Amino acid sequence: MLLGPLRWVIRGMTLLVALLLLYLGVTFAQVWLASRRDQARPVQAIVVLGAAQYAGRPSPVLKARLDHAADLYNRHLADVVVVTGGREAGDITTEAAASAQYLGTKGIPDSHILREVQGRTSWQSLAAAASFLKARNIKTVLLVSDPFHSARIAAMAKELGLTPYVSPTRTSPIHGSSAVPYFGKETIAVAAGRIVGFRRLVGIDKKLNQVKAKASGG
C-alpha cells in the first residue's frame, strides 16, 4: 500500500535534485561568463577587492589587482581608487594600507585613494566602502578583483545600492586549472546568495562559524 506514495516521494526528490543541479549548472555558466567579461568604462570610483599582504607588501594576487586598477586609473576611467581589506591575525598593517602604499609607487596621489580598513570578507569590505562612497554621492563603480570573483562581487554591490561594473585582472597567478576550485566555490556562493540574499547569507555563515567554534571548544 505504501509503494504508490513512496514512488511519488522518490520522484519528487529526484526532480528536486535535478532542478538543483540545473540551477547550479546555469549559475556556474553565469559565473564563468562573468569572468570573461571586462566592463571597463568611465565611472565615479574604482574599487579594488583586497587580498593577502605580507608585512606591507602585496601578495602576487593583490599586486595583480592593484596593477590593473592603476592601469584603469591611468586610462582616466575614474579619479578615485578605493582600496579595501582589514588586518588578519598577526598582521602589522591592513590590506588597504599596503595597497595604498603600492599604488603610491605607481604614481597615484594619496589624495585620490580612499581606504576601507575593517573588512575581513568581500561583503564586509564592499558594505563599508558602499557606505562612505554613497555619503560622497558616489554610486557608479568599477570593481577590480580576480575573474572568478566577478559575478559575486557585482551581485553584492548591487544589493548594497551601488551601480557596479566589473573589470577583472588578467595577470593573477590564480589561473588555468588552479582557478577551478575557486569557480566551484563562487558558483555555490552566488547560487545561495541569490536565494537568501548576500546580507542574510553572511549572517548565516557567521552563526555557523560560531557554532563550529563552540563545538570545537573555541
Residue-range domain boundaries for the chain? 35-175
Please report which confidence band the pLDDT of residue 4 belongs to, taking 50, 70 and 90 as the band edges: low
pTM across the whole model: 0.88
- Grid cell digits, residue 153: 562581487
- Grid cell digits, residue 178: 588552479
The pLDDT assigned to 201 comes to 82
Q: Which amino acid is at 209?
A: N
pLDDT in tens, 119-170: 999 999 999 999 999 999 999 999 999 999 999 999 999 999 999 999 999 9
Distance of alpha carbon 120 from alpha carbon 88, whole angstroms? 8
Q: Tally Cβ neighbours within 10 Å of residue 185.
A: 13
Beta-bridge partner residues of 84:
116
Please report which confidence band the pLDDT of residue 213 belongs to, taking 50, 70 and 90 as the band edges: very low
Task: Indicate if the pLDDT at residue 203 is higher than 80.
Answer: no
* Composition of the chain by helix, strand, coil, percent to 5: 60, 10, 30
Distance of alpha carbon 218 from alpha carbon 216, whole angstroms? 6
Instruction: Identify the CATH assignment for 35-175 out of 1.10.10.10, 3.40.50.620, 2.60.40.10, 3.40.50.1950.
Output: 3.40.50.620
Please report which confidence band the pLDDT of residue 103 belongs to, taking 50, 70 and 90 as the band edges: very high
The pLDDT assigned to 31 comes to 97
